[in-house]
């Protein structure tokens, strides 16, 4: 009897909770959500200078090596210096616009460095792409967004991206351009809600807030166990 009474009380409590909880995907709020997202995206375009200043501070606190460059030539020079410093022989990169504009294969065309473009539509087999990403010394990606509040880079699924590029190599370089820096994670979640409404929710999102860290073994903090131990955020503009 007590058992039946317990479950009945639990059922009633759950029903009450459901009736009071707002329906986040209510069609009546869909246009409101889209309007909010448009404001967020517009502010990212107009307030990019202010967002850059904030994310430089938060990203450095999170463990990123942060650099700001003005021109494409400055960006290429930064990557050239990093490749030399790490004595890298294998580099993988995505085909996102911010990365493709670098023309890395031409910049390093006369060197012995192996550059491989990895994306979800590559003609190379998945097994070979995975092997190249794992063997690479440096991975270079663009981002979907960055978040000023937390110093986070957001990488998502797409035909021009390769998930392992920002995960497998020991060094990850993330290129951020003007208009990509959101104010907060709340803004990112509102964008995701809008994408859900419109049916273009990404298959995955990878939020990177500094180098990979783990304290699984005897509570000792170790970097680079489950991902890159060194991360570089380059702000362009």
Q: Residue-wise pLDDT tens for the chain (237 aa)?
A: 466 776 677 677 666 555 444 455 555 588 889 999 999 999 999 999 999 999 999 999 999 999 999 999 999 999 999 999 999 999 999 988 899 888 887 777 777 889 888 876 667 787 888 899 999 999 999 999 999 999 999 998 775 567 889 999 999 999 999 999 999 999 999 999 999 999 998 888 899 999 976 655 555 555 545 678 899 999 999
The domain covering 29-236 belongs, at the CATH homologous superfamily level, to NagB/RpiA/CoA transferase-like (3.40.50.10420)
Structure tokens at 94: 């995505």
pTM of the model: 0.82
Domain boundaries, the chain: 29-236
């Amino acid at each position: 009897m007590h058992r039946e009474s317990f479950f009945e009380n639990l059922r009633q409590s759950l029903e009450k909770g459901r009736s009071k909880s707002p329906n986040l995907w209510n069609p009546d709020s869909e246009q409101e959500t889209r309007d909010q997202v448009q404001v967020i995206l517009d502010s990212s375009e107009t307030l990019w200078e202010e967002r850059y200043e904030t994310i430089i501070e938060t990203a450095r606190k999170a463990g990123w090596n942060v650099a700001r460059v003005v021109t494409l030539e400055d960006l290429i020079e930064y990557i050239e210096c990093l490749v030399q410093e790490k004595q890298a022989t294998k580099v993988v990169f995505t085909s996102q616009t911010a990365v493709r504009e670098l023309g890395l294969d031409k910049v390093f065309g006369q060197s012995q460095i192996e550059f491989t473009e990895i994306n979800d539509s590559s003609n190379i087999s998945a097994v070979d792409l995975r092997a190249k990403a794992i063997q690479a010394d440096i991975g270079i990606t663009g981002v979907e967004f960055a978040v000023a509040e937390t110093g986070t880079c957001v990488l998502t699924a797409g035909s021009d991206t390769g998930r392992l590029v920002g995960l497998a190599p020991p060094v990850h370089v993330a290129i951020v351009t003007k208009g990509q820096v959101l104010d907060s994670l709340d803004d990112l979640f509102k964008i995701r809600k809008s994408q859900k409404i419109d049916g273009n929710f990404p298959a995955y999102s990878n939020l990177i807030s500094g180098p990979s860290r783990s304290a699984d073994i005897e509570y000792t903090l170790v970097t680079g166990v489950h991902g890159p131990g060194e991360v570089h955020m380059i702000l362009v503009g």
